[in-house]
C-alpha cells in the first residue's frame, strides 16, 4: 500500500503464484514447487509465512477462511512446498506448513501424513522425479525426504500411460469418492534425536489440574513416532472412544480441558518448557483417546462393528476432534499398538502385533508397523498404510502484492 504524489492511497495489484490444490488422504492443501515461489518466499522466514497465511486466508477472526483457499478446519488449512531433493537417494524434499485459522502463525513442527500421499503424485506431475524412475505403466516408487522431521517416506504411485493414475476403486473412510490407491511407507518414523518414548516409560502418570481430572493425574502413553502423540484411556475422561465430532467439538469447556492435557503432555515430553508455549505450537503434540472395540455409527451413517476392529481411537488436531484420523497419528497408533504394554496395545487386546485395525469417527483404518526391542529400547523400522490422492485444481493462486512487504 503506497501513496501517490497527491497523498492518495494506491493499492498494489495482486500477484499470481503457480499452485496446485490437492487432496491427500482425508486432508486438502495448496501445493507449491519451491522454484515457483516469489524470491522472498523461497527461503524460510516471515515473507514465506506471510504468503502462506494470505493464500489460505488467515488469520480469520470469523474462523471461516472465506478470503482464501483454506476450509476452516485443521484438515484443510494446509500448505506444502516441494523441491528437488538435496538428500542422497531421495527424489524430492517435502516441507509441510500447518496454517493457523484464527491466529497468524504457520506451524512447521511436524508432518502431515495424509498429504504425504499426494507428494509423490505432485512431484511426478511437476517433473521433479527423474523420468527414468517413472514407468509407462505400473508403480513409481518416489523417495521423499520429509524436511520438517528429517525422515524418509516412500510413496508407491500408480502410473498409466506415463501419467499419474488418480482415479480408481480404492475407498477410504472419510473421503466421499473412490480413487487410486497409494501405498505410503513411513521409514524409521520415531524421533531420531531421542527415545521413541521421551519419558522412557510406556505408560506415565501425567499430572493435571484437578479441574481437568479430579484425581489430579491420568495414565498416558506418550510416543514420538510419526508425530508426537499423547494417548489416554477414553474411560479415564468419561468417554467410550466411539464419540463423533459433535460429541466433543460442541463443548468449549471440553476442548479447553483437552488443550490443557496437550500442554502438560508437551512439557512432559520435552517439546516445550512451559505450558504457555503450547499456544504457539498447535500442530504438535496430538492428543488421542483410546477405547476397546465397540459397535458405533460413523459420521456417514455406516455401522462399524466391534468384530471389524481392534480398538477405537479419537484424536484431536488444532484444538478440535478430527473428522477421521491424521495420517501421522495413524503411524503413532500403529507403532504404539505393536508395542506390548502401551495403552494403545492394551486397548487393542495386548500381545505382539504387526498391524492394527482401528475405528475413527468416519469409519475404520488399518495400519501396519514393524517394531522391535533392541537393547531394551523399542525401535520401529517402518509404518505402512494405504491412502489416495487427487488434483482438485491447478493454475495460479492470487494474493495482494503487498503481502510480502
Which residues are catalytically annotated? 112, 326
C-alpha cell read off for 266: 508437551
Euclidean distance between CA atoms 34 and 49, whole angstroms = 14
Euclidean distance between CA atoms 369 and 158, whole angstroms = 23
Assess contact for 263 and 284: CB atoms under 8 A. no
Q: How many CB atoms lie within 10 A of CB 179?
A: 20
Q: Please state the separation of Cα 263 from the chain's center in Å.
A: 18
C-alpha cell read off for 108: 512447521
Euclidean distance between CA atoms 176 and 63, whole angstroms = 24
Nearest to 129 by CA among 156, 167, 161, 148: 156
Euclidean distance between CA atoms 47 and 273, whole angstroms = 28
Instruction: Look at residue 401 and give its three-state secondary structure.
Output: helix
Q: Is the peptide bond between 132 and the residue preceding it cis, with omega within 30 degrees of 0?
A: no
Euclidean distance between CA atoms 247 and 291, whole angstroms = 15
Euclidean distance between CA atoms 2 and 259, whole angstroms = 42
Euclidean distance between CA atoms 229 and 322, whole angstroms = 14
**Torsional class of 360: left (φ above 0), alpha (ψ -120 to 50), beta (otherwise):** beta
- HSE, CB side, 13 Å, CA atoms: give it for residue 180: 20
Instruction: Look at residue 191 and give its three-state secondary structure.
Output: coil
- HSE, CB side, 13 Å, CA atoms: give it for residue 175: 25
Distance between start and end Cα atoms, the chain: 9
Amino acid at each position: 500500500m503506497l501513496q501517490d504524489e497527491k497523498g492518495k492511497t494506491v493499492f498494489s495489484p495482486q500477484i499470481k503464484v503457480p499452485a496446485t490444490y490437492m487432496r491427500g488422504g482425508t486432508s486438502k492443501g495448496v501445493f507449491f514447487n519451491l522454484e515457483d515461489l516469489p524470491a522472498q518466499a523461497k527461503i524460510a522466514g516471515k515473507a514465506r509465512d506471510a504468503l502462506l497465511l494470505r493464500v489460505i486466508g488467515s488469520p480469520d477472526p470469523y474462523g471461516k477462511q472465506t478470503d482464501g483457499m483454506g476450509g476452516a478446519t485443521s484438515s484443510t488449512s494446509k500448505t506444502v512446498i516441494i523441491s528437488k531433493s538435496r538428500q542422497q537417494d531421495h527424489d524430492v524434499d517435502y516441507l509441510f506448513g500447518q496454517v493457523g485459522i484464527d491466529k497468524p502463525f504457520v506451524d512447521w513442527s511436524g508432518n502431515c501424513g495424509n498429504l504425504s500421499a499426494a507428494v509423490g503424485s505432485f512431484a511426478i506431475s511437476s517433473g521433479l522425479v527423474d523420468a527414468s524412475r517413472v514407468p509407462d505403466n505400473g508403480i513409481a516408487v518416489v523417495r521423499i525426504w520429509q524436511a520438517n522431521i528429517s525422515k524418509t517416506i516412500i510413496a508407491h504411485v500408480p502410473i498409466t500411460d506415463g501419467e499419474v493414475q488418480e482415479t480408481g476403486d480404492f475407498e477410504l473412510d472419510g473421503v466421499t469418492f473412490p480413487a487410486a490407491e497409494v501405498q505410503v511407507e513411513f521409514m524409521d518414523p520415531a524421533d531420531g534425536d531421542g527415545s521413541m518414548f521421551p519419558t522412557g516409560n510406556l505408560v506415565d502418570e501425567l499430572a493435571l489440574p484437578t479441574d481437568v481430572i479430579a484425581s489430579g493425574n491420568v495414565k498416558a502413553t506418550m510416543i514420538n513416532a510419526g508425530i508426537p502423540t499423547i494417548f489416554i484411556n477414553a474411560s479415564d475422561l468419561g468417554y467410550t472412544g466411539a464419540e463423533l465430532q459433535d460429541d466433543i467439538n460442541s463443548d468449549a469447556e471440553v476442548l479447553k480441558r483437552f488443550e490443557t492435557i496437550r500442554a502438560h503432555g508437551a512439557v512432559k515430553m520435552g517439546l516445550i518448557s512451559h505450558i504457555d508455549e503450547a499456544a504457539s505450537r498447535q500442530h504438535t503434540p496430538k492428543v488421542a483417546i483410546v477405547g476397546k472395540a465397540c459397535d458405533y455409527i460413523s459420521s456417514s451413517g455406516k455401522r462399524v462393528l466391534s468384530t471389524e476392529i481392534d480398538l477405537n481411537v479419537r484424536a484431536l488436531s488444532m484444538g478440535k476432534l478430527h473428522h477421521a484420523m491424521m495420517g501421522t497419528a495413524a503411524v503413532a497408533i500403529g507403532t504404539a499398538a505393536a508395542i506390548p504394554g502401551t495403552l494403545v496395545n492394551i486397548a487393542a487386546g495386548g500381545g505382539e502385533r504387526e498391524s492394527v485395525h482401528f475405528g475413527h469417527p468416519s469409519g475404520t483404518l488399518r495400519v501396519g508397523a514393524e517394531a522391535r526391542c533392541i537393547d531394551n529400547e523399542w525401535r520401529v523400522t517402518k509404518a505402512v498404510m494405504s491412502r489416495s490422492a487427487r488434483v482438485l485444481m491447478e493454475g495460479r493462486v492470487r494474493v495482494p502484492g503487498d503481502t510480502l512487504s
